[in-house]
Amino acid sequence: RLNLVPDHVKNFRPQILVLTGKPSSRPPIVDFANCISKGIGLIVCGHVVEGTMSQRSRNSLIDESNQWLLKRKVKGFYTLVEEESLSKGVKLMIQSVGMGKLRPNIVML
């Protein structure tokens, strides 16, 4: 149903992919994205890990980052991608984050 709504200035929502790494390591850019979205847009904090990591450390990092976002009252998501290089990881994240009309329309570095 959301896909049938035409794009218009009056129903524009900022949907931001913020390439933060671990969000707690770059709070100013997360806060800036939160100010832009004003609580009505989508914020996705993206983290590209070069190489591989164990499932336990991956889950721990995801839980820690989600808790940090909750504590800061940021209405958003955290996603993690493992790739051999940063550039490949960023490409993968830009292509795969979101779905339908809920795809990011702004990328912040």
Q: For 88-107, what is each residue's pLDDT tens digit?
A: 999 999 999 988 778 898 99
The band of 1, judged by pLDDT with boundaries at 50, 70 and 90, is: low
Domain ranges of the chain: 21-108
Digit-coded pLDDT (tens) for 27-76: 999 999 999 988 888 899 999 999 999 999 999 999 999 999 999 999 89
11 against 12, higher pLDDT: 12
Q: What is the reported pLDDT for 2?
A: 62
Residue 71: name the closest of 20, 18, 27 by CA. 27
Q: Cα dist. 53→1, 49, 58, 66, 109 in Å?
A: 38, 8, 6, 18, 23
2 against 109, higher pLDDT: 109
CA dist 6 and 79 (Å) reads 28
Q: What is the reported pLDDT for 99?
A: 83
pTM: 0.86
